Amino acid sequence: MSAPGLSAIWWDAKDFLRSLPAYLVPAVRKEMARDRRGLRGQDPGPARAVEEGIGWLCRAQDLSTSADGGFARHFGLVDGWAPSYPETTGYIIPTLLTSGDPALEERARRALDWLVSIQMESGAFQGGVISDPTRMEVVFNTGQVLLGLAAGLRRFRTPAYAEAMERAATWLVTHQDPDGSWRRFEGPYAQPGPRTYHTHVAWGLFESAAVASRSDWGDAALASVRWAMTHQRANGWFELCCLLHDQRPLTHTIGYALRGVIAAWRFSGQEAYLAAARRTADGLMQALEPDGFLPGRLTADWRPASRWVCLTGTAQIADCWLLLHEVTGDERYGKAGLIANRFVRSTIRVDGGPDMRGAVQGSFPVWGMYNRFKFPNWACKFMVDANRREISLLARAVPNGS
């Protein structure tokens, strides 16, 4: 791949120095040695990856240090298991409910009940982990919890979920700016101002609008996506699409933006949204290496701005490529999704101890700058989603399993 620019290398060096104490931890040194040997060389396949990933998510719920029914934000090589994280607990719920497994449905219900119990008086949900002392109302996190509430209401028809969903959706719509963006309540971990990855907030509103038959929520969500599309370049690039570094955004936040635009097309049926999604998906394919390596940060001409992979972003984008293959029949998307999925699977343990078996690193190699030395729960969730979609694609390609 092409080398990142000097500014990106300097940024890498500064981040390395900040993280220097972690390199003294034996578990960190062991994992670094493992990653220096490269990809594992063995692909466990999508079915095994899903099985192990779901198992790890269950352990993340059981071993959360806040022990409340939510999912631990991560397992860290330095800090171990973390407290529960409301934002990602929200969108892990649909992943559990998709399985049809009663045991996983019960886990989803536990998570839903916890989210309802921690909803803020305003209707919003907080940023950060549950133990974060600031408890700030955050637009993005509220939108992600909506994904879980909508899925839970669709499955269980529980009045408490309907009430919580209405309060959260109403808070989002009330604080939306006239142009469709959200300029307030971005939270402590992102730069202030509107973000184009808020199309993923719109997805939460789309799901809520569908289950509650609320056209006003759907209209608000479409306004958000239309605003984001005014910041999309002809090559598919989205401006204002990173937590902190808009000139070299993470594939994670690009994946959020892309999935939200796809959701707008599925909700509305309007071809302009599908065309916008395809522009971004096509641009991302320019950065994908033949072995599935997708740089964790990219520049506006789809060139690498990092020497590491954000595995979360790769899994998200793989899922989007496979979804676009389903709806367009374009084989390029199917091929890209399969290659990207295989890369992520090749980094996963499918044996060994419970803390990391089935988990997905924040970065590959593990010292990369996205959730360095951590296994975040959302990386695993997106890996499971992408591999389930691959299983579905392959089942359709081979009728009756023959």
Confidence of residue 401 (pLDDT cuts 50, 70, 90): very low
Is there a domain that residue 302 lies in?
Answer: yes
Is there a domain that residue 1 lies in?
Answer: no
Q: In the predicted model, is pLDDT for residue 155 greater than 60?
A: yes
Confidence of residue 13 (pLDDT cuts 50, 70, 90): low
Q: Are the C-beta atoms of 386 and 314 separated by less than 8 Å?
A: no
Is there a domain that residue 401 lies in?
Answer: no
Q: What's the CATH number where 79 sits? A: 1.50.10.10
Residue 11 pLDDT? 47
Count of CB atoms situated within 10 Å of the CB of 22? 17
Is there a domain that residue 136 lies in?
Answer: yes
Residue 248 pLDDT? 95
Which H/E stretch holds residue 75?
A: strand 74-76
Confidence of residue 397 (pLDDT cuts 50, 70, 90): confident
Confidence of residue 10 (pLDDT cuts 50, 70, 90): very low
For residue range 189-224, what is the model confidence (pLDDT) as tens digits? 778 889 999 999 999 999 999 999 999 999 999 999
Q: Is 64 exposed, middle or buried (0-12, 13-18, 19+ CB in 10 A)?
A: buried
Question: φ and ψ at 351, to 5 degrees?
Answer: -150, 180
For residue range 20-40, what is the model confidence (pLDDT) as tens digits? 678 878 899 999 999 988 876
Is there a domain that residue 102 lies in?
Answer: yes
Report the candidate in 7, 25, 8 with the shortest Cα–Cα distance to residue 372. 25
Q: In the predicted model, is pLDDT for residue 12 greater than 60?
A: no
Is there a domain that residue 60 lies in?
Answer: yes
Q: What is the pTM of this model?
A: 0.93
**Gap between the Cα atoms of 40 and 247, Å rounded:** 32
Q: Is 310 helix (H, G, I), strand (E, B) or coil?
A: strand
Sign of CA dihedral 303, 306, 307, 309: negative
Q: In the predicted model, is pLDDT for residue 147 greater than 80?
A: yes
Domain total for the chain?
1
Determine the structural domain holding residue 57 and report its residue range: 6-396
Confidence of residue 15 (pLDDT cuts 50, 70, 90): low
Is there a domain that residue 367 lies in?
Answer: yes
Which H/E stretch holds residue 375?
A: strand 374-376
Report the candidate in 148, 111, 158 with the shortest Cα–Cα distance to residue 130. 111
Residue 7 pLDDT? 41
Q: What average pLDDT does the structure give for the chain?
A: 93
Q: In the predicted model, is pLDDT for residue 4 greater than 50?
A: no
Please list the residues that pair with 376 across neighbouring strands. 74
Is there a domain that residue 402 lies in?
Answer: no
